[in-house]
C-alpha cells in the first residue's frame, strides 16, 4: 500500500481527502494551515480538512510556514504527496522526495486560470465550462505537467457555491481514477502550453464593487461569480449594500446606469446597466441589516429603494 501525505485546507479539499480514505488509501499525514481566529469573537477555528482528518484518526501537521518546517514530512518517506487547495507553495526538497512525486488537484482546465481563485474567475469571465486538472507540482505556480483533466459545464444558474461542490466531487473522482494508473506508470504527462496560460488571482476588495456602466450580463456574472463569498456589493446612500442574488433582465430601459426603474410586484428591484438592459435584484443586505429578500426588505422599509433611486459609488 502506497503511503500518501495529503495537503489541503478549505472545504474544497474535504471530499477529496474523504474519497481517498473511503477508497482504502494509506493517508499517513494530513498537512493543513494553522487554526485561525474567525468571526466577530475571533474564536480559533480549525481548517475543515483538519476536522476531517481527526474524524479518521489521521495525524495532522500545521506548519505556519511550510518552507521553514517540512522535515516531519520528509521523515515519513511518503510515496506520493497529494495537494488540493493547500494554500502554500511546496519547497523544492519536498517536490523531489516522493517516488511518485507531488501532484495537485486544481479547479481549472490548465493552463487557463492558474492561481488561488479559479472557480470565481471562470464565472466572472462568463465561461461556459471549466474543469479539474491533476498535475505534477513544480516550483512555479500551477505550471507542472498534466496527468489528467476533466471538463465540467457551467450553466447560467451556477454560482461559485454550486461550481465549488461540482468541482470538488469531480476532483475526488478523477483523483481516484488517476492514482492507480499513475502507480502502474500508465500515464504519460503532457506539458502545459505556457503561452496560453492565464491567471486567477485571489479576489480583491475593488473587484467586489459593481460598476453599473458594465453590461447586465457582466454584472450578473459578477454577482454569481462572487456568491456565496465574498459577495458583490454596490453603494446605497453612500454605504455598501451587498447583492446576494439577482436575475438577468434583457428588456431595454431608459434609465441611467445604476437607476432603479421598476419594482416588479415588490419582489425584485430592476436596475439599469450600461447596455440599457438590467439585472433584477432579489436578495440584498443594506448596511446595519441582515441579509433578506427584496420583498421582505420593501415590506419593512417601503419608503426606501424606490423607483428612481440611484445605486453605485466607489471606495474612498
Residue 111 among known ligand-binding residues? yes
Using CB atoms within 10 A of its CB, is residue 119 exposed (0-12), middle (13-18) or buried (19+)? buried
- Check the annotation: does 109 bind a ligand: yes
Residue 30 CA to residue 135 CA, distance in Å, equals 19
Residue 248 assigned as binding residue:
no
Q: Which stretches does DSSP call E strand in 107-170?
A: 129-136, 146-153
Q: Which residues of 35-52 are buried (b: 16+ CB within 10 A; e: fewer)?
A: eeeeeeeeeeebbbbbeb
3-state secondary structure of 311: coil
| The Cα angle at residue 141 between residues 35 and 120, in degrees rounded to 5 | 70
Say if CB 200 and CB 116 are below 8 A apart: yes
- Determine contact, residues 32/6, Cβ cutoff 8 Å: no
H helices within the chain, ranges in order? 14-22, 48-55, 71-76, 92-95, 118-124, 160-183, 216-225, 294-300
Who contacts 60 (Cβ-Cβ below 8 Å, separation ≥6)?
29, 30, 31, 32, 50, 53, 54
Give Dmax over CA atoms of the chain in angstroms.
Answer: 69
Backbone angles phi, psi at 309, to 5 degrees: -65, 140
Phi, psi (deg, nearest 5) at residue 7: -125, 120
Residue 299 annotated as binding site: no
Which residues sit in the known binding site? Answer: 108-111
Which residues sit in the known binding site for (6S)-5,6,7,8-tetrahydrofolate? Answer: 108-111
Amino acid at each position: 500500500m502506497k503511503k500518501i501525505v495529503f495537503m489541503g485546507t478549505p472545504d474544497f479539499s474535504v471530499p477529496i481527502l474523504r474519497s481517498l480514505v473511503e477508497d482504502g488509501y494509506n493517508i499517513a499525514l494530513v498537512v493543513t494551515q494553522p487554526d485561525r481566529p474567525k468571526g466577530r469573537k475571533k474564536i480559533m477555528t480549525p481548517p475543515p480538512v483538519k476536522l476531517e482528518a481527526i474524524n479518521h484518526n489521521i495525524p495532522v501537521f500545521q506548519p505556519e510556514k511550510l518552507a521553514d518546517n517540512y522535515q516531519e514530512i520528509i521523515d515519513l518517506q511518503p510515496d506520493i504527496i497529494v495537494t488540493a487547495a493547500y494554500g502554500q507553495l511546496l519547497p523544492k526538497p519536498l517536490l523531489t522526495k516522493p517516488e511518485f512525486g507531488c501532484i495537485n488537484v486544481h479547479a481549472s482546465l490548465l493552463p487557463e486560470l492558474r492561481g488561488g481563485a479559479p472557480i470565481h474567475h471562470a464565472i466572472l469571465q462568463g465561461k461556459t465550462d471549466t474543469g479539474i486538472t491533476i498535475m505534477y507540482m513544480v516550483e512555479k505556480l500551477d505550471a507542472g505537467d498534466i496527468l489528467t483533466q476533466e471538463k465540467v459545464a457551467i450553466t447560467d444558474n451556477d454560482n461559485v457555491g454550486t461550481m465549488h461542490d461540482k468541482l470538488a466531487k469531480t476532483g475526488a473522482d478523477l483523483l481516484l481514477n488517476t492514482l492507480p494508473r499513475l502507480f502502474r506508470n500508465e500515464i504519460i504527462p503532457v506539458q502545459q502550453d505556457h503561452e496560453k496560460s492565464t491567471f486567477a488571482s485571489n479576489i480583491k476588495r475593488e473587484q467586489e464593487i459593481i460598476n453599473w456602466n458594465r453590461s447586465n450580463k457582466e454584472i450578473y456574472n459578477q454577482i454569481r461569480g462572487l456568491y456565496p463569498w465574498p459577495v458583490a456589493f454596490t453603494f446605497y446612500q453612500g454605504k455598501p449594500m451587498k447583492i446576494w442574488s439577482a436575475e438577468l433582465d434583457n428588456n431595454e430601459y431608459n434609465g441611467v446606469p445604476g437607476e432603479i426603474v421598476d419594482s416588479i410586484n415588490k419582489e425584485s428591484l430592476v436596475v439599469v446597466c450600461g447596455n440599457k438592459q438590467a439585472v433584477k435584484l432579489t436578495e440584498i443586505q443594506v448596511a446595519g441589516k441582515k441579509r433578506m429578500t427584496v420583498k421582505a426588505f420593501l415590506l419593512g422599509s417601503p419608503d426606501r429603494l424606490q423607483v428612481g433611486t440611484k445605486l453605485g459609488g466607489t471606495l474612498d
